[in-house]
Amino acid sequence: MISIIGSGKVGSAIAFLIAATSLDDIVLVNRTKEKALGQALDISNAASWENPVSVVGTDDFSMIKNSDVIVISASVAVYEKDRLEFLSQHVQLIKDIAKKVVKYSPHSKIVLVTNPADVLTYVFNKETNLSRNNIIGVASSLDSSRFRYVLANELGVKTKNITNAMVLGEHGDSMVLLFSLAKIDGKPVLNSLSTPQIDKITNDVRYYWKSLRRLKGPSVFGIAKNTTDVLRAIINDKDLAMPASVLLNGEYGISDVCLGVPAKIDKDGVSIVEIKLANSELKSLHDSAAIIKNYILQA
């Protein structure tokens, strides 16, 4: 069973993908019961005929008991200026949810989506003292999808021609785009990019969310798909390699902070994968960690 805490646009989109692919039964928890019930009524109709799953809506947290995975997508409001808007309110929200998770389903894998994802993944870790392998922040994989898309557009190729386009660090302004690893048709993208192009791509990826806000509103489908990929890896025990926000304990020379790093996800949760980074990229990752730590102090 997969429980989703927060039945707004993102939570309901994740639930839709779960139901449409018959991944697992779903419990939608929302502070407004009627919204959870309505989303459940609608999403239930997306379940396949061959292998339908159940979709339940509720405001009762005890319904998350014995969940295999719990997705946290609840928020207090939609940010407009940056992901740190409503920081203190979101920290308190995550602390409240953490207490309920520990009470009703402490052995679940946790997939955290609410922004600022890195700060809140850290807060959840510290509030629960659960294994860091069970707590996954989904953000850098979305940034990596955006990096791949922007690279393809800049180079005039299809997205499938771009591989190893990975983004680490903060899901925010200090994110680290790994140009050194990205490839176009198997060849380093750096061979095809000028310095102004690199600067433009970096800016476009960092502020991709602003283009979305201007054109349509908050991101929904990208984060929903990336989150569902994580859920599928856990439920079906199929290894998934992707960047994720995880609590570091010395990896990459960084400790006591959550940020995006290469990871492997399966039924046992998340494990950090250490890869060789260019010196400039490693320094940028350390800088990003310092920025996130400062945000944590502010919270």
Residues 6+ apart with CB under 8 A from 238: 232, 266
Query: Dihedral of CA 211/115/280/277: which sign?
Result: negative
The DSSP element (H or E) to which 226 belongs, if any, is helix 221-236
- Where would I find the H helices in 57-109? 87-104
CA 226 to chain centre: 7
CB atoms within 10 A of CB 18: 28
90 an active-site residue?
no
**What is the spatial distance between Cα 223 and Cα 71, in angstroms, rounded to a whole number?**
12
What are the backbone angles phi and psi of residue 28, rounded to the nearest 5°? -100, 120
**What is the spatial distance between Cα 121 and Cα 145, in angstroms, rounded to a whole number?**
20
| Catalytic, out of 90, 107, 171, 286 | 171
CA-closest candidate to residue 31, choices 10, 8, 56: 8
Residues carrying an active site annotation: 171
